[in-house]
Structure 1
Amino acid sequence: MNFLRWPGEAKPLHWVTLLTSAVTVWVGAAVLGIVVAQFARLLSDSHADLALMAGGIGLVLLFSPLYSWIGFLIALPFEYWLARRQFFGWGMALLLGTAIGAVLTPILDTILPLFMGGPMLVLQWLVIATVERGRTRFAPPPADSP
């Protein structure tokens, strides 16, 4: 499988699919942050070091939508352009997210966009791939088929 291209002969993606997948990952990070923070709270009595680490990760994920919206806003036009040309694979998502994170790192004055930009866009690509696989699997047959 080519990591730069979209797998198979899929139709070009619609902009609504890109937007809903970005919102799903954007909100999903906060939900995951809440879950991890609550898990850390449960661990606080027995494993204080692990709870402290999990709590930090949970807080970063919980508050990531405050900063990651700008990365998604910058990435969406590039993703759409690449997807229309069937050139939006998981590797391209990783490269695009890392590049946008590198641009946003000095602007936001934190190193987190550099490390989280690529994985966030790969997660978005996974959401898109799952939706598209389900759409093609359960699509009605073409009208000219027997």
Structure 2
Amino acid sequence: MMTSTIILYSIVAVLSLVGAGLVRWLSDRPVKHEEYSPDEMLDELENAFAERETIEIFTTLEYLPMLFERVHLTTDAGFPEHQVAALLHRISNQRPRVIRSALFPIEIKKVNSDVELQWIRPTEDRVHMLVTAVPEVIKALSEEAEKLPAATIGS
């Protein structure tokens, strides 16, 4: 009985010393407080959250490669040609009157964003597509769609 009491007191003493050392170590560590100016915070928010717009395009399947190529050329990174080819294959093999969507990460002017596509094929050869992306991509798509003979831009 006496031995177990000594062992118990020894364990309590060692744990107390370890706990006191841990408390002292944690209290001595410097706390990092970074101060940012309002301009720095606004710059960070501007880079973190890209403005997005939506465009509605009605076109035929044959003109989709031109629209997607324009998106590819507008971006600095993302939306590579192999993804464009896979997307075109997916859209062309889709049954009519079924809604589908896709999301592609992109980078424009060192800002990360994405291109969100949602489409439906009302008939075998037509595509009704909503594209949500940064204004640069939307502007490029609008310009390209205006050049196409069988494309209509909705609002």
Q: What's the TM-score once normalised by structure 2's chain length?
A: 0.29
State which structure, 1 or 2, has the greater radius of gyration over its C-alpha atoms.
Answer: 2
Bigger fraction of residues in helix: 1
